[in-house]
Chain A
Amino acid sequence: MILDIKERLGKTKYDIDKSYAHITVDDRICEKCPHHFCVMACPAQCYTMQDGKLNFQYEDCVECGTCSIACDQGSVKWNFPKAGKGVIYKYG
């Protein structure tokens, strides 16, 4: 019953906008970030640390907005996806 986060995200439906990332991060700011709290806060594991460097991907984003508050360094730029793209809940 206990599932890895990737497996759980696999249950959720998306229509990914391959041409537009609705969230962007500024690598230069992330490099100097003292906490990388986004890695803990994001419920969809969009933020991970790889070899001491922050890695971000928007494809699994469930559009909760948590990272826009978690990031207090001014790196995260948050917009809504366009034209209904992104997460599509079947239950909600």
Chain B
Amino acid sequence: MENQVAQAARVQEIIQKWNKRRDLIIEMLHDVQSEFNYLPLPALDQISHEVGVPHSTLYGLATFYNAFSLTPRGKHQICVCMGTPCHALGAPRIVEALERHLKVKCGGTTEDLKYTLEISGCVGTCGLAPIVIVDGELHGFVTPVNAPKVLDKYSD
């Protein structure tokens, strides 16, 4: 219960920060997503109510844009870059190695909610290809063999 109150208060702050503006709901969703690691349903209710947009619109945005998720993501976000240079240098094999290591399919979250494994569009640091990004931190020159070791740092 307390958690819900705190969550509602935080969402209210976010809505206020963007002045309840209809054209800024994507910014609000960004902030909610980075605050809670996903878009909780009550938060969407709140935005819908406060800004005056139908739920269907928010659902549309949440499912259209890759940055948003309606289910909780793991504590640590693992993104394997799938830009062309990364692909050409073996990124798909890194995804498979991580899938095996974490026992989760790409796009999924581990049962303990620790890791979410995803692929991302090109992050534009092709000089380091192939790249794995964990919680926004870039790791370059990853190989299928050392990929699991990249996660050691994020084992908490």
Do these two chains interact? no
Residues of A near any B CB (own CB < 8 A): none
